[in-house]
A and B are shown apart, each in its own frame.
Chain A
Amino acid sequence: MNNLLFLIPIALGLGALGLAAFLWAYRSGQFDDLDGDALRILTDEPPPQDKRPR
């Protein structure tokens, strides 16, 4: 019983961490273009730089 007191929060915390990671990845656009990402991995040259003024 005492083990459960920390095991359950750890289990739930890890699950919540995964959930948060997915939500972050989704929001940051990593799931926007799955087909394109599969192709981009084949190119050798680095992607062009963002020339946006900062």
Chain B
Amino acid sequence: MSTCCAPGLGSEDAVQIEEGRLRAEEFVRSGRDDGHGLTHYMLTVPSIHCADCIVKLENALTKTPGVCQARVNFSTRRVAVAASAALADPFEIVRTVEKLGYPVLVGTANDNGRDPVLAGLMRALVVAGFGAANVMLLSVSIWAGADHATRALFQLISGLIAVPAVLYAGQPFYRSAYGALRRGQLNMDVPIAIGVLLTLGNSFYEATIGGGETWFEAPVMLIFFLLVGRVLDHVMREKARSGISNLSRIAARGAIRIGADGASSFISVEEIRPGMVLEVAAGERFPVDGVIAAGQASDIDRSLATGESLPVPVRAGDRIEAGALNLSAPVRMEATADAEHSLIQEMMRLMEAAEQGKASYVRLGDRISSIYAPFVHLAAALTFAGWMLTGHSAHAAFSAAVAVLIITCPCALGLAVPVAQVVGAGLLLKRGILVRTGSAFERMAEAKVVVFDKTGTLTLPTLALDQQTGDADLARMASLAARSRHPLSVAIAAEARLRGIVPPEATEVVERPGFGMEGRIGGLPARLGRRDFVQAIAADEDEAGTGDLWFAIGGARATPIRMRAELRPGSEAAMQAFDRARLPRYLLSGDAPEPAAEVGARLGFSPDHVGARVSPAGKAERIAQLEAAEGPVLFVGDGINDAPALGAAHVSITPADASEVGRANADFVFTGRSLTAVSDSLVVSKAVLACVRENMALAIGYNMIAVPLAVIGLVTPLGAAIAMSTSSLIVVGNSLRLRLKLRDEAKVSAPPAAAYRPEVRFG
């Protein structure tokens, strides 16, 4: 193997390793002792992406003292590690992995990585497949003309295979049907369960006593096809779920508490009570609401909490919200609320309230089956009655009714929805978009209005430097900025890298929380930061001009630096796509009116569709109004303050670098930077819904032809088997056509050439 690249990690990420105390505690707690002297850990390492990664990780881990076994699961991007329970410092495992350049997520549920539901479905599927193949072989012999004793023998053997196979493999359907009936509802599984069990019973009677036609192949095949749909559906949802959980923050869900005696201890977020003093390292998020303790200062980034785009300095006594990011220095805070009453939880409550106000969505498949199921049973009952009334025996009448049940069994209908959704989810996954639920496609396709958040959604979460700064200045600024994780510094360092500038060496660099960076470049003192802080070393006291940040070096004049929020790439293209689809666009921001209006104007929002300083509850309210006035709303947002709006909207989509609340509750999550993901999701969802409708029409159309034939007793087991397989194949084929259809229409952006790789977010 050639050497493969390690995932790109800059020097700023190295800091993460030293600050790992919280994570270390959480990691040690996540270990599962097996009682035989071994502790098992599960690490999620989202940036594993090649064969070399597997080898490197496994070799390095097994060489770590105390580790007995390490096994990478490439599909789930997880590493299972078994270490001696006597290991002194289990966090060395995580450090080993991070030293190789792979960020690790701790705090993942320490299961063994197996999915019991999928395992159950797979067992059922192979049993049904075995049954279907063997019964079909015997049935073909019967149809080919086996007679007398041979025929009776084949029927009996078919029965002996089919009955246990169907009883075992059909369990998911019986359970679901039973559950629905007990609640007094009808779902698609009710006609399936009744049809399958009645057919089976009737055929078993014919094979043993009656000597008539048997229908063993139909129920086994039906269960097999339906299980294929179930497995596909489950795999799709599980893929999205694990993809989303791999996007989680790397930080721990806990805090370092400073006791009255000054000793520090690790506590989980739930254990925090008002009045406790907590230490929050730079680069970590505040776990609860609070105030900065005496003598402390830092800068915080509130963009996820409130939507403000620029970081703000905080000093002793300033209020901070849970979810804000601590940027420049470790600070102590005094908690004013426990986790239950912090801003995030408040948002969760608002979101739940918004969701309750919304009528629960009934999926298309369920809506169809609520009409379909009674129709099927009525048709079968009427057939039975009709045959009895026209003077046939009860036996003949029952056989005809069973034929109706088996021919109407919604085999194609059961595949119509999942196959189309799986194809759609696959198309989106290639473009880095994860779909949480199947019904998300239906709801997305119904959207009539689209509402955007500004900070982090229309704009990138990172800031960009205005282009006026010269290369020489930039080089000197970057040598200070490279040592800080403040978003303004990060922007400067990024711009320098972009222009290919190598910053000169800076010495004695320190970060002054709330003020800026200070150091020496080429022996001269240099400062980067707030105006008053920088001007103290500058030559000119009254430099005119405005800037978000200032820079001065050894007696020269202070230079202002302007920053701007950068629009997400592809935002213009996405806006055009919505205009083409004739969806009115709204912008609701928690930020100040000026930046909101500026971004609105750049992207062609009509000015009366732009709202600034909208409170989180205000967003949800506005969306509810729009739902009432104009129809279903698609909401695109990322922050903690967007959570209520995510709950209120008919369908929602969020970028992967959004807040955890956002990711956990949006219907779609996109991992790329481009906003075309939003319009792509809309186009694909519309195509999926159209395909589902076509599939339903095909399945129902087939029943319209087959049912009358079954009612008058013209359907044979051979006919039923052929009709059922062809209708299923037609539905699957139609769904696969979706891929071609979307490739031909140039509405969807092309998938990136590189394979989809989840991105990791720090902090």
Which A residues contact B (CB, under 8 angstroms)?
Answer: 1, 4, 8, 11-12, 15-16, 18-19, 22-23, 26-27, 29, 31-36, 39-40, 42-45, 47-53
Contacts and interface: CB of A to CB of B under 8 A. Distances in A.
A8 to B, nearest CB: 6
B413 interface: no
A39 B50 CA distance: 7
Contact of A32 (B38, B113, B137): B113
Interface in B52-82: 52, 54-55, 58-59, 62-63, 67-70, 72-76, 82
B133 interface: yes
Given A39-B74, A43-B52, 17 more contacts: A1-B149, A23-B123, A26-B126, A27-B119, A29-B114, A31-B122, A32-B73, A32-B113, A32-B114, A33-B73, A33-B75, A36-B75, A42-B1, A43-B1, A47-B58, A48-B70, A51-B69
Q: Which 9 A-B pairs have the closest CB atoms?
A: A36-B74, A39-B51, A48-B62, A52-B68, A51-B68, A33-B73, A19-B130, A35-B75, A42-B51
Contacts of B123: 23, 26
Contacts of B73: 32-33, 36
Majority SS at the chain B contact face: helix
Interface in B144-191: 149-150, 153, 157, 161
B134 interface: yes
Contacts of A18: 130
Nearest to B153: A4
Contacts of A29: 114
Nearest to A26: B122
Contacts of A34: 75
A52 B82 contact: yes
B69 A40 contact: no
A49 B58 CA distance: 10
Given A43-B51, A43-B55, A51-B62, A22 B74 contact: no
Nearest to A48: B62
A24 to B, nearest CB: 11
Given A40-B51, A48-B62, A53-B37, A19 B126 contact: yes
Contacts, number: 79
A48 B79 CA distance: 14
Contacts of B68: 50-53
24 contacts: A1-B150, A12-B157, A15-B130, A15-B133, A15-B134, A22-B126, A27-B119, A29-B114, A31-B122, A32-B73, A32-B75, A32-B113, A32-B114, A33-B73, A33-B74, A36-B72, A39-B50, A42-B1, A43-B54, A48-B59, A48-B63, A50-B68, A53-B37, A53-B68
B481 interface: no
A51 B37 CA distance: 13
B675 interface: no
A31 B386 CA distance: 52
Nearest to A9: B157
Contacts of A53: 37, 68
A34 B113 CA distance: 14
Interface in B25-67: 37-38, 50-52, 54-55, 58-59, 62-63, 67
B228 interface: no
A34 B134 CA distance: 28
Interface in B106-158: 113-114, 119, 122-123, 126-127, 130, 133-134, 137, 149-150, 153, 157
A48 B59 CA distance: 6
A51 B1 contact: no
A6 B133 CA distance: 19
A42 B54 CA distance: 11
Given A45-B55, A52-B69, A16 B130 contact: yes
Range for the number of chain B residues in contact with chain A: 35 or more
Given A1-B150, A39-B54, A26 B119 contact: yes
A29 B82 CA distance: 17
Contacts of B161: 12
A4 B150 contact: yes
A43 B62 CA distance: 17
Interface of B: 1, 37-38, 50-52, 54-55, 58-59, 62-63, 67-70, 72-76, 82, 113-114, 119, 122-123, 126-127, 130, 133-134, 137, 149-150, 153, 157, 161
B74 A35 contact: yes
A49 B38 CA distance: 16
A32 B114 CA distance: 8
A34 to B, nearest CB: 6
Contact of B76 (A31, A33, A47): A33
Nearest to A16: B130
A43 B76 CA distance: 20
Nearest to A18: B130
A12 B134 contact: yes
A4 B63 CA distance: 60
Contacts of A1: 149-150
Nearest to B82: A52
Contacts of B114: 29, 32
Most B-side CB within 10 Å, residue of A1, A39, A40, A43: A39
Contacts of A19: 126-127, 130
A5 to B, nearest CB: 9
Nearest to B160: A12
B1 A44 contact: yes
A4 B151 CA distance: 12
Contacts of A23: 123, 126
A16 B126 CA distance: 11
A49 B82 CA distance: 13
A3 to B, nearest CB: 11
Contacts of A26: 119, 122-123, 126
A13 B36 CA distance: 40
Most B-side CB within 10 Å, residue of A34, A36, A44: A36
A15 B70 CA distance: 36
B251 to A, nearest CB: 27
Nearest to B149: A1
Contacts of B62: 48-49, 51
Contacts of B134: 11-12, 15
A12 to B, nearest CB: 6
A47 B55 CA distance: 8
B614 to A, nearest CB: 44
A45 to B, nearest CB: 7
Contacts of A40: 51, 54
A30 to B, nearest CB: 12
A53 B149 CA distance: 61
Nearest to B60: A48
Contacts of A43: 1, 51-52, 54-55
Contact of B157 (A8, A33, A49): A8
Nearest to B66: A51
A18 B133 CA distance: 12
A38 to B, nearest CB: 8
